[in-house]
Amino acid sequence: MAALMLPLLLVFAALVIDTGFYYVLRRQAQNGADAAALGAAREIGAKRYAAANAIVTTLATTNGVTVTAVTYDPAAAIPSSATRKVTVATSGSTQAVLARLVGQPTLTANASATAAIAGLTSYSSTASSPLTRMVPLAVRVDEYTAHPYGTAAARYDLCLGALVSCAGQTFKFTSFGSATVPAPDYVSGMSVTTVTVGSIINLSAGQQAASMTELGRSTPPRFTGSYWVIPLIDDSAQVVGFSYFFVESVDASGNGSLLGYFVELGTPTAGPIGAGLGTNYGVYNVALAP
């Protein structure tokens, strides 16, 4: 009886082994696709477009799989500033145990992943990182899009007028819930706040959020100042996106002058910043697309 059962047991064992091999191979192919897509997206976000294809191959190989296809959206052989998504397809193979008896000597697993480069749909501000500071200040999106950041940075004065009195202090961010924009709350204590696209920023009656004055274009020197996140709003004070502003200087004499540059920066991947697929106004994230 045992002799009769032995062949069946061997077939069952071989089937279990092949199933296990395929499961591991499928996971390996997916890990390779995920890593390659995210790696390419980060290169695109950092404007290293020519390096995107190479990093795809490198990361797939590191994960033990091969790349079968790379596609960019919009379609292109080499990505550009217009690229918003990258899809990577991978394939892996290994020797089969049972399947070879029916003419299938190898097991093959395929996978694909899409990574998106897009603006955030929400932003959480903390005091822990210079790249996560948000101020109770908003800029009209139509002013921003009329004068976007570029290769040669445009220097701006976010004119706050006489409504702000800095009293010789350094600007700090505060909660949007308690801030009037603009107001002396700019120099109040730090707190944590989350702002979401579609939310309304409550402005005090008769006050503007901020107006932008372009001071001319030049290649900026190596600044040592901080970066602030500034929400962009429409005519109804509804948040439509987020921008990064490099603070060159703050006028503490009561004139309400905030000098600096709009820049484009990727957000920290481990920070308290929710990933989203909103419009990219300079604060962007890289994430696997659903």
pLDDT in tens, 105-119: 677 889 999 998 877
Residues in the chain, overall count: 290
Q: What is the pLDDT of residue 111?
A: 95
Question: Which of 58-67, 192-201, 260-269, 277-286 is modeled with the greatest confidence?
Answer: 58-67
Question: Which of 59-73, 196-210, 227-241 is modeled with the greatest confidence?
Answer: 59-73
Res 56 pLDDT > 80:
yes
Question: Which of 97-106, 116-125, 142-151, 159-168 is modeled with the greatest confidence?
Answer: 116-125
SS3 13: helix
Mean pLDDT calculated for residue range 251-262? 63
pTM: 0.63
DSSP 44-72: HHTT-GGGHHHHHHHHHHHTT-EEEEEEE
> Among 10-24, 60-74, 156-170, 214-228, whose mean pLDDT is lowest?
156-170
pLDDT in tens, 19-38: 767 788 899 999 999 999 99
Q: What is the pLDDT of residue 179?
A: 40
SS3 28: helix
- Please report which confidence band the pLDDT of residue 11 belongs to, taking 50, 70 and 90 as the band edges: low
Domain boundaries, given as residue ranges, for the chain: 2-118, 122-288
Nearest one of 158, 195, 155 to 276, comparing CA atoms: 195
Q: Give the Cβ contact number of residue 48 at 10 Å.
A: 14
End-to-end alpha carbon distance in the chain: 53
Mean pLDDT of the chain: 68
d(CA 199, CA 134): 15
Question: Which of 127-131, 153-157, 217-221 is modeled with the greatest confidence?
Answer: 153-157
pLDDT in tens, 173-230: 333 344 444 444 333 333 446 778 888 766 543 334 444 454 554 444 444 466 777 8
The more confidently predicted of residues 67 and 238 is 67
With tokens 């994230």, the residue in question is 285
